[in-house]
Amino acid sequence: MSDLVTVEEIEGAARRLDGIVLRTPLVAFPTKSPSAPPLQLKLESLQPVGSFKLRGAYTAISGIPEADRKNGVIAHSSGNHAQAVAYAAKALGIPAVLVVPNTTPQIKMDACAALGAELVLVEPTIEARVEMAERLAAAHGYPMVSPFDDRSVIAGQGTIGLEIIEDAPDVDTVLVPISGGGLISGIAAAIKARRPETNVIGVEPELAADARASFRAGRRIAWPSADTHRTIADALRVECVGAQPFEHIRALVDDIVTVSEEEIHDAMRQLARRARLVAEPGGAVATAAYLSRFGTVQPRGRRRNFVAVVSGGNADPAIYADILSEDL
């Protein structure tokens, strides 16, 4: 437990992020039944880069000594972390080089380029991303900004947990998407420090369920990229949860559940039609878990209330339009 990110580190990240990120709201999701447990949505999709990733990226980059970052930074990402690094680097007045899969949605690549970042495309595996990023970092002296396996990044993402507890102090269960694990690690560290009785549950696609497999086995288990790339949730296609995040998950997370592709689609539609919110597939999985598993009748004698993190809103326009029209 001593190696886990502390709430004091997360509070320090919150001070660093003041004026940089949006303190995102909790908004009520209109449930269909009055007997359903209430759900509030933590709208990280409203961040300037459309996802929570800005919190971790800015915390990490701003903590690098100026002399070490003056020539720029490098990151590898499936898309949202890349955009966050580009935004943070521009805010700090330094270049950014981003290694991304060649399958990254065009909307995310265009956003990175618009922020002045240099894009390097590689095959869609984490091994290819890491190899290229490390090679360029060594050749040019760029500091690496990890998408999830980094203490500063975890602390930055943990500021979401602080905000949830401040705005919903009696929350029973927090549902959090899992990819590399930095988001749920930070949120769990913050919430368990402030309100240990709150359940923190991870959610991932059943077609990319390496984190659940790892959680159940008690050790990190990687899935082949050919398997994880079956899911529409491009932000959640990491083949293996990070080493530091896994230690947090083992110590602090109560459970990990999965959702089907159709449940993800349905959650995107429900968020759009009932809450007027845009969520990308990876950003909708926590809401999907509520709708498919938890949003039924309240247990007698016990009030349950939920928060679902809507982690991103960078939906590919064509795919999003198809999903919204599927059942019309």
Run of H or E residues at 56: helix 53-62
Q: Which position among 42, 51, 53, 292 bears the catalytic label?
A: 53
* CA separation, residue 299 to residues 37, 78, 101, 302 (Å): 9, 39, 44, 6
What integer best gives the mean pLDDT of the chain? 94
Banded pLDDT at 2 (limits 50, 70, 90): low
Angle at CA of residue 50, ends 84 and 105, nearest 5°: 80
Quote the pLDDT of residue 98.
96
Q: How far apart are CA 227 and CA 236, in angstroms?
A: 12
- Flag whether pLDDT at 85 surpasses 90: yes
* Percent share of the chain, pLDDT over 70: 97
- For residues 209 and 223, the answer to whether their CB atoms sit within 8 Å is yes
Q: pTM of this prediction?
A: 0.94
The domain 7-51+150-324 having CATH identifier 3.40.50.1100: the answer here is yes
Q: Of 50-64, 114-128, 265-279, which range is least confident?
A: 114-128
List, for residues 213-232, the tens digit of each pLDDT value: 999 999 999 999 999 999 99
Residues 6+ apart with CB under 8 A from 33: 297
Q: How far apart are CA 239 and CA 223, in angstroms?
A: 5
Banded pLDDT at 3 (limits 50, 70, 90): very high
Quote the pLDDT of residue 113.
94
List, for residues 134-161, the tens digit of each pLDDT value: 999 999 999 999 999 999 999 999 999 9
Going from N- to C-terminal start, the domains of the chain cover 7-51+150-324, 54-140
Query: What's the whole-number mean pLDDT along residues 292-299?
Result: 74
Query: Would you call 197 helix, strand, or coil by DSSP?
Result: coil
Quote the pLDDT of residue 174.
98
Q: Which position among 51, 77, 214, 311 bears the catalytic label?
A: 311
What is the CB-side half-sphere exposure of residue 178 using CA atoms within 13 A?
38
Banded pLDDT at 125 (limits 50, 70, 90): confident
> What is the topology classification, in CATH, of domain 54-140?
Rossmann fold (3.40.50)
The phi, psi pair for 70, rounded to 5°, reads -60, -30
Domains 7-51+150-324 and 54-140 alike in fold: yes
Place of tokens 């999830």: 148
Q: Reply yes or no on whether 311 is catalytic.
A: yes
Quote the pLDDT of residue 79.
81
Q: What is the largest CA-CA distance in the chain?
A: 62
- For residues 272 and 244, the answer to whether their CB atoms sit within 8 Å is no
